[in-house]
């Protein structure tokens, strides 16, 4: 038995071949099988590359190097560091039905000869994360009998160069994955014979330049990824032959300029990313001919301005990303040709240096749905800046320097659903700022300088209002009367009044008219008493109430008298020393009650049918037999 185990440890290299055959097929006894509901057997073939392999305990990462393969009862050694085979055999005697070849054990397969697979029935070759350094093609394998190889996965190795003969005679390869290697050099003829190549992934390598011969012969290429390299130069006409290319990723390189007419023949290109380069200007006419382009990413460059007509002809463009540049303004001349982009729905100008938005920047006809201006230096918005964006749904203005929202800023934007104004210095919003925006469902105003809750006008469709981290001293009576559909309200971290024993942050009618409110957050407001704020029938849909981190001293049996549908109630981290009997009696749906970190020394546990979690830790209970009730 020991000798058998030793032989297994010295010979096993996992090679998984999967084939699907009808249930009536006759197969070798050397296979394991399972049957699916369609009457097909799935056969799993295990191929061993025999050789003089070092003792496993010197190379395995752990002492436990064996485990059961999920679909079989046999035990196999699959330790990741077991093997250290330096190369594959010069030939493989594989069965005709084998179509997947995977080496998942050896961790130091220095050299791979692609040629040994071209005469086999293998269609998918997985050689990932094996520390491969060299790709060769043995001339003895040059004669092709039946080349079925389609997909080659060589990602995560240590390959430094692609030689002219690395894929010689492998005519039918459609997919090559070479990402996350150390590739610095690609021979001009490396892919020349791959006439059927559709997908080429070379991201995250060390490539410095692209010549006009690199992929010149791969005329059927659909997707090319070169992102995450060190490319500083691309020769003109490098992609001239790729007329069927639909996706090109050149992001995160060192490009300072784009050669004239580089994309001129890419009539089917739909996605182009130039993000994360060092482009600064001279983009005019760069994108001419990209009639099918839908997404253009120019983010994280050094652009200071947008030349006139730079986007001419991009009639199919629906997404334009210009975030993370050095744009200082949005002038009408820069974007005057956006009127021709009648399919543009997403425009991202975030993380720039924009200070103002000019009046009528966007001419009538722009069909934007999402507009991002967050993380800029905007201090003022002209009341007419957005009036022509009639289809706009989301506007991001967070992390700017706004102090007020003036009259009619968002007036008549009938399709507006979401506005983010958080992290500004806003202390006032005009009553008519949100006039006639009946579809608006969410406003974020957190981290501003509101002292009191201004009237936002008639927001009958508003469902979520975030006012946390402001300086609101009190919630006036009936202040939300125009928000009858509000479901989520966050007023946490506002009142900082520490000197008033009779804290008046809440009044009896603070939440009047909020008949569908589900979630209310009031933590960190120095509230000392609740003064019947939750005794209104308008709060009978409230499910989550957070009153933690306040200064509440006691709870009486009228506190939650009419808020009978509360499911989660958090009153932790207060100074509660007394809870009147029956305080929670009407909360029949209460599931979680958190009273931790208070001053309770006695407590009558409520008998509630839905209560699943009761937290009372860190109180003043005296743990003795005299502890009343509890």
pLDDT of residue 626: 53
Same domain? 561 vs 606: yes
* Average pLDDT of span 467-481: 92
Range of weakest confidence among 41-50, 95-104, 352-361: 41-50
Tell me, yes or no, whether 222 lies in a domain: no
Neighbouring C-beta atoms of residue 617, cutoff 10 Å: 11
Cα angle value 130/136/138 (rounded, 5°)? 125
Tell me, yes or no, whether 83 lies in a domain: no
Domain boundary, last residue among 25, 51, 77 = 77
Tell me, yes or no, whether 270 lies in a domain: no
pLDDT of residue 76: 36
Same domain? 629 vs 569: yes
* Residue 565, domain CATH: 3.80.10.10
Q: Are 619 and 593 in contact (CB under 8 A)?
A: no
Same domain? 471 vs 570: yes
Same domain? 410 vs 455: no
pLDDT of residue 242: 95
More confident residue, 298 or 53: 298
Tell me, yes or no, whether 368 lies in a domain: yes
Which residues form the domain of 385?
279-417+426-435
C-alpha dihedral sign at 323, 326, 328, 333: negative
Same domain? 412 vs 466: no
Question: Tens of pLDDT along 76-104?
Answer: 333 344 445 566 666 666 666 667 777 65
Half-sphere exposure of 453 (CA within 13 A, CB side): 27
286 pLDDT above the threshold of 80: yes
Domain boundary, last residue among 55, 77, 99 = 77
Range of weakest confidence among 373-382, 423-432, 611-620: 423-432
Domain boundary, last residue among 435, 470, 497 = 435
> How many domains is the chain partitioned into structurally?
3
Helix (H, G, I), strand (E, B) or coil at 5: helix
Tell me, yes or no, whether 136 lies in a domain: no
Half-sphere exposure of 419 (CA within 13 A, CB side): 24
Three-state SS sequence of 193-235: CCCCCCEEECCCCCCCEECCCCCCCCCCCCEEECCCCCCCEEC
For 345, the token pair is: 């729905």
46 pLDDT above the threshold of 60: no
Tell me, yes or no, whether 626 lies in a domain: yes
In this prediction, residue 220 has a pLDDT band, given cuts at 50, 70 and 90, of very high
In this prediction, residue 116 has a pLDDT band, given cuts at 50, 70 and 90, of confident
Same domain? 431 vs 486: no
Same domain? 469 vs 570: yes
Half-sphere exposure of 218 (CA within 13 A, CB side): 27
Same domain? 325 vs 465: no
What's the pTM value of the predicted model, to 2 decimals? 0.84
pLDDT of residue 216: 92
pLDDT of residue 249: 99
More confident residue, 42 or 125: 125
Q: Are 182 and 205 in contact (CB under 8 A)?
A: yes
Q: Are 148 and 125 in contact (CB under 8 A)?
A: no
Any idea which residue has 């743990």 for tokens? 623
For 561, the token pair is: 């008298």
Tell me, yes or no, whether 250 lies in a domain: no
* Average pLDDT of span 179-191: 96
Any idea which residue has 């925006």 for tokens? 437
pLDDT of residue 209: 96
Same domain? 395 vs 490: no
Same domain? 592 vs 471: yes
534 pLDDT above the threshold of 70: yes
What is the rounded average pLDDT for all residues in the chain?
81
CA atoms of 622 and 629, how far apart (whole Å) = 12
51 pLDDT above the threshold of 50: no
CA atoms of 110 and 104, how far apart (whole Å) = 14
Of all helices (H) and strands (E), which one includes residue 243? none
Same domain? 430 vs 500: no
Give CA torsion, residues 538, 544, 550, 553, to 10 deg. 70
Range of weakest confidence among 73-77, 166-170, 271-275: 73-77
Tell me, yes or no, whether 88 lies in a domain: no
Question: Tens of pLDDT along 222-242?
Answer: 999 999 999 999 999 999 999
* Average pLDDT of span 148-157: 92
More confident residue, 73 or 196: 196
CA atoms of 482 and 461, how far apart (whole Å) = 9
Question: Tens of pLDDT along 572-629?
Answer: 999 999 999 999 999 999 999 999 999 999 888 888 999 999 999 999 987 655 555 5
Same domain? 431 vs 293: yes
In this prediction, residue 308 has a pLDDT band, given cuts at 50, 70 and 90, of confident
């Amino acid at each position: 038995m020991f000798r058998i185990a030793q032989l297994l440890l010295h010979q096993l290299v996992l090679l998984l071949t999967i084939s699907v055959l009808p249930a009536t097929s006759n197969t070798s006894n050397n296979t394991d099988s399972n049957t699916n509901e369609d009457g097909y057997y799935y056969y799993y073939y295990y191929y061993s590359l025999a050789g003089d392999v070092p003792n496993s305990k010197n190379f395995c990462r752990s002492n436990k190097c064996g485990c059961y393969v999920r679909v079989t009862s046999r035990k196999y050694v699959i330790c990741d560091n077991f093997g250290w085979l330096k190369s594959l055999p010069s030939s493989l005697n594989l069965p005709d039905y084998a179509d997947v070849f995977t080496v998942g054990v050896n961790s130091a397969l220095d050299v791979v000869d692609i040629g040994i697979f071209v005469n086999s029935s293998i269609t998918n070759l997985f050689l990932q994360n094996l520390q491969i350094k060299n790709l060769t093609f043995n001339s003895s394998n040059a004669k092709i009998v039946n080349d079925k190889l389609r997909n080659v996965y060589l990602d995560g190795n240590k390959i430094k160069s692609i030689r002219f003969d690395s894929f010689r005679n492998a005519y039918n390869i459609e997919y090559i994955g070479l990402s996350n290697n150390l590739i610095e050099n690609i021979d001009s003829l490396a892919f020349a014979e791959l006439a059927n190549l559709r997908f080429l992934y070379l991201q995250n390598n060390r490539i410095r330049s692209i010549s006009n011969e690199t992929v010149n012969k791969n005329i059927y290429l659909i997707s090319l990824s070169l992102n995450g390299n060190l490319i500083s130069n691309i020769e003109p006409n490098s992609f001239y032959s790729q007329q069927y290319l639909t996706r090109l990723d050149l992001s995160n390189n060192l490009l300072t300029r784009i050669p004239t007419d580089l994309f001129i023949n890419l009539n089917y290109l739909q996605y182009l990313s130039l993000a994360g380069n060092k482009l600064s200007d001279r983009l005019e006419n760069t994108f001419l001919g990209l009639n099918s382009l839908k997404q253009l990413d120019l983010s994280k460059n050094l652009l200071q301005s947008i030349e006139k007509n730079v986007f001419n002809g991009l009639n199919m463009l629906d997404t334009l990303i210009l975030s993370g540049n050095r744009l200082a303004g949005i002038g009408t001349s820069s974007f005057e040709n956006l009127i021709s982009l009648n399919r543009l729905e997403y425009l991202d100008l975030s993380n720039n240096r924009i200070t103002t938005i000019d009046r009528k920047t966007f001419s009538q006809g722009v069909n934007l749905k999402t507009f991002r201006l967050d993380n800029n230096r905007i201090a003022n918005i002209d009341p007419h800046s957005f009036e022509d964006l009639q289809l706009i749904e989301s506007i991001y203005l967070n992390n700017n320097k706004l102090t007020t929202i003036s009259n009619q800023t968002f007036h008549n934007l009938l399709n507006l659903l979401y506005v983010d104004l958080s992290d500004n210095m806003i202390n006032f919003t005009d009553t008519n700022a949100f006039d006639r925006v009946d579809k608006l469902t969410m406003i974020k105003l957190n981290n501003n300088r509101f002292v009191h809750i201004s009237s936002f006008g008639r927001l009958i469709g508003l469902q979520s209002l975030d006012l946390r981290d402001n300086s609101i001293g009190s919630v006036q009576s009936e202040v939300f009367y125009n928000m009858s559909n509000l479901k989520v309200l966050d007023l946490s971290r506002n009142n900082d009044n520490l000197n008033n024993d009779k804290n008046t942050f809440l009044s009896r009618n603070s939440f009047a008219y909020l008949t569908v409110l589900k979630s209310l957050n009031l933590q960190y407001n120095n509230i000392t008493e609740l003064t019947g704020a939750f005794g209104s029938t308008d709060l009978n849909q409230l499910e989550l109430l957070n009153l933690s981190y306040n200064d509440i001293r006691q709870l009486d049996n009228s506190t939650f008298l009419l808020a009978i549908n509360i499911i989660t109630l958090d009153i932790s981290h207060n100074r509660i020393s007394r809870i009147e009997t029956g305080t929670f009696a009407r909360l029949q749906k209460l599931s979680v009650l958190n009273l931790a970190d208070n001053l309770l020394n006695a407590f009558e546990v409520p008998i509630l049918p839905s209560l699943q979690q009761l937290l009372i830790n860190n109180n003043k209970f005296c743990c003795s037999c005299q502890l009343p009730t509890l």
